[in-house]
């Protein structure tokens, strides 16, 4: 009986060892898709003055959704843990749109608004990779990253334009699944959550930083849904 147990343990150990060795050593991943920003509502004191017509709803929708691209490089150890680096670029673009607002005393005014936000995230990354099948076709990954965030924002109200930039620390958590087309090439889908809040900004190219009040700090929290292409060695 003891011999059978030892035999089973040896076989399992051998299988686990083979599976661990079958993980790629290096993973280079490029991914892109849509970001859904979670905190985009205008200050109620300002937002309540706009007439919530089709134009307003369009601007509101454009401010919540953006495109993103991301690059990841990881070295994977035999136990599935991996160390690497992440670069992610996110953008939100709201083209110039005329909005109606309540000017009081049964009068309405028109204001033209536009906004463009560019967000960059650079960070070291800790990842875990695990095969979902025995054939080495489906690979699950999860990653945590913490690093540097930079925001460039430009907006206009009628003929007045303002720019500001700021930076802070950001955090991202990712989950993904890859399907291996060949031993070295895989495609997949990934989702993730990103958080950062900009507390100080430089306005109109000034070198002086301005500290923003709590309710005016840009909250960059978003979730993503991306398609990916990976090279595995």
CATH code for position 111: 2.40.160.20
The DSSP bridge partners found for residue 174 are 143, 192
Q: Which comes out higher in pLDDT, residue 47 or 189?
A: 189
Distances (CA, A) of 118 to 90, 152, 153, 185: 6, 5, 6, 30
CB neighbour list of residue 114: distance below 8 Å, 6 or more residues apart:
94, 95, 96, 97, 155, 156
CB neighbour list of residue 205: distance below 8 Å, 6 or more residues apart:
163
The predicted pLDDT at position 12 comes to: 40
The number of distinct structural domains making up the chain is 1
57 vs 41: CA distance, rounded Å: 12
**Domain span at 72:** 2-232
Least reliable range by pLDDT among 27-31, 91-95, 204-208: 204-208
Which has the closest alpha carbon to 195: 222, 167, 168?
A: 222
Which has the closest alpha carbon to 74: 209, 221, 176?
A: 176
What is the reported pTM? 0.87
pLDDT in tens, 84-130: 999 999 999 999 999 998 887 778 899 999 999 999 999 999 999 99
Query: Per-residue pLDDT for 11 more than 50?
Result: no
Grouping H, G, I as helix, E, B as strand and the rest as coil, residue 137 is: coil
The predicted pLDDT at position 14 comes to: 45
């Amino acid at each position: 009986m003891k011999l059978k147990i030892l035999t089973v343990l040896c076989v399992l150990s051998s299988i686990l060892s083979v599976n661990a060795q079958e993980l790629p050593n290096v993973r280079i991943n490029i991914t892109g898709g849509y970001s859904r920003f979670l905190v985009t509502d205008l200050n109620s004191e300002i937002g309540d003055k706009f007439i919530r017509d089709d134009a307003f709803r369009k601007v509101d929708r454009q401010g919540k959704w953006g495109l993103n691209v991301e690059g990841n490089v990881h070295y994977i150890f035999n136990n599935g843990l991996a160390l690497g680096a992440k670069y992610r670029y996110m953008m939100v673009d709201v083209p110039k749109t005329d909005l109606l607002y309540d000017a009081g005393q049964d009068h309405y005014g028109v204001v033209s608004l536009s906004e463009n936000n560019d967000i960059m995230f650079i960070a070291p990354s800790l990842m875990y990779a695990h095969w979902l099948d025995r054939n080495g076709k489906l690979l699950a990954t999860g990653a945590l990253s913490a690093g540097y965030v930079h925001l460039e924002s430009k907006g206009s109200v009628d003929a007045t334009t303002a720019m500001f930039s700021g930076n802070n620390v950001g955090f991202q958590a990712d989950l993904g699944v890859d399907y291996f087309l060949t031993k070295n090439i895989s495609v997949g889908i990934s989702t993730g959550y990103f958080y950062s809040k900009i507390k100080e900004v430089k306005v109109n190219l000034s070198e002086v930083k301005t500290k923003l009040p709590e309710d005016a700090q840009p909250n960059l929290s978003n979730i993503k849904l991306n398609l990916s292409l990976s090279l595995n060695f």
